[in-house]
């Protein structure tokens, strides 16, 4: 199959999305669309390289806001119906809001708009779907309560990307989630995958509901539902 997979800058359901992406990319031509925020967030969670590994070659490109500039020429393929399906997983509140109001000013929102014009079925996994509080996972974090302010800081010395600011924080824009700081810190002051509670805003839940009314878009709750949905509903 020829598939488009769009990543946005959501940490929630990101690992689960990458796992499903990898399963599909092993046996199909998958073009990856990455919003600017998704590039940063995939790196923070140490998942960027995993995705990039499956790109390269025709219909397996890595399309970004940077390499597709302002008019996103690659999404023309979607408007010409060249793909069997477009997946957006995970979809941030920001991207969902833009889609429901017809805005298409990022590589991902533009891909969705063009898929609609080309009658390419689109499956979206919005992160803001269940009202109330949800559990979500953080990228690497310095737990100040455990930091013993060692001099020198072994975690900072171990970081190959200058992301570790001793006794203060991890600069997430430099972090690639390699985990070397965690290995180096003898006081276990770095957490990876810490679970926190996040409140879902009413406006984001309402926008997710509006997604379901858009032609050609199907909403599923979890990335694990994507492959069964494709198998049951998308014609090859």
Q: Exposed/middle/buried for 190, CB within 10 Å: 0-12, 13-18, 19+?
A: buried
Instruction: Give the three-class secondary structure for 96.
Output: helix
Task: Please report how close the Cβ of residue 37 comes to ligand FMN at its closest, in angstroms.
Answer: 3
For 139, phi and psi rounded to 5 degrees? Answer: -70, -175
Interface stretch with ligand FMN, choices 50-58, 87-95, 110-118, 177-185 (CB under 6 A) = 87-95
> Please, what is the Cα angle at 129 between 125 and 133, to 5 degrees?
130
Should residue 118 be labelled a site residue for ligand FMN when binding is judged by CB under 6 A?
Answer: no
Binding map of ligand FMN across residues 186-225, x = CB under 6 A, - = no contact: ----------------------------------------
β-strands 85-91, 2-7 pairing? parallel
Residue among 127 and 153 whose Cβ is closer to ligand FMN: 127
Site residues for ligand FMN, 17-56, by CB under 6 A, read: 35, 37-38, 41, 44
Should residue 142 be labelled a site residue for ligand FMN when binding is judged by CB under 6 A?
Answer: no
What is the longest distance spanned by two Cα atoms in the chain?
61
Task: Please report how close the Cβ of residue 134 comes to ligand FMN at its closest, in angstroms.
Answer: 9
State which of residues 6, 63, 74, 93 lies at the interface with ligand FMN (CB under 6 A): 93
Should residue 11 be labelled a site residue for ligand FMN when binding is judged by CB under 6 A?
Answer: yes
- Where do we find the tokens 């996040």? 198
Task: Please report how close the Cβ of residue 16 comes to ligand FMN at its closest, in angstroms.
Answer: 12
Task: Please report how close the Cβ of residue 170 comes to ligand FMN at its closest, in angstroms.
Answer: 11
Instruction: Give the three-class secondary structure for 56.
Output: coil
Residue nearest to ligand FMN (CB): 9
How remote is the C-alpha of 28 from its chain's centroid?
19
Omega of the bond leading into 187 within 30 degrees of 0 (cis): no
Percent helix, percent strand, percent coil in the chain, to nearest 5: 35, 20, 45
Query: What residues line the site for ligand FMN (CB under 6 A)?
Result: 8-12, 35, 37-38, 41, 44, 92-95, 106, 127, 139, 172
């Amino acid at each position: 199959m020829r598939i488009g997979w769009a990543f946005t800058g959501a940490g929630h359901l990101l690992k689960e999305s990458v796992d499903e992406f990898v399963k599909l990319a092993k046996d199909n031509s998958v073009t990856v669309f990455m919003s600017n925020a998704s590039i940063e967030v995939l790196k923070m969670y140490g998942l960027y390289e995993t995705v990039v590994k499956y790109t390269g070659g025709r219909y397996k490109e890595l399309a970004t806001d940077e390499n597709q500039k302002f008019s996103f020429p690659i999404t023309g393929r979607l408007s010409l119906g060249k793909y069997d399906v477009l997946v957006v997983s995970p979809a941030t509140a920001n991207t969902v809001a833009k889609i429901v109001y017809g805005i298409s000013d990022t590589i991902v929102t533009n891909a969705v708009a063009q898929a609609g014009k080309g009658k390419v079925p689109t499956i979206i996994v919005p992160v803001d779907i269940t009202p109330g509080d949800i559990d979500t996972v953080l990228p690497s974090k310095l737990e100040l309560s455990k930091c013993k302010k060692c001099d020198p800081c072994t975690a900072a010395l171990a970081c190959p990307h200058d992301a570790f600011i001793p006794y203060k924080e991890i600069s997430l824009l430099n972090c690639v989630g390699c985990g070397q700081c965690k290995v180096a810190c003898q006081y276990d002051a770095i957490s990876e995958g810490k679970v926190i509670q996040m409140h879902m805003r009413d406006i984001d839940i309402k926008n997710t509901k509006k997604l379901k009314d858009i032609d050609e878009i199907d909403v599923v709750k979890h990335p694990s539902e994507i492959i069964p949905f494709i198998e049951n509903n998308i014609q090859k």
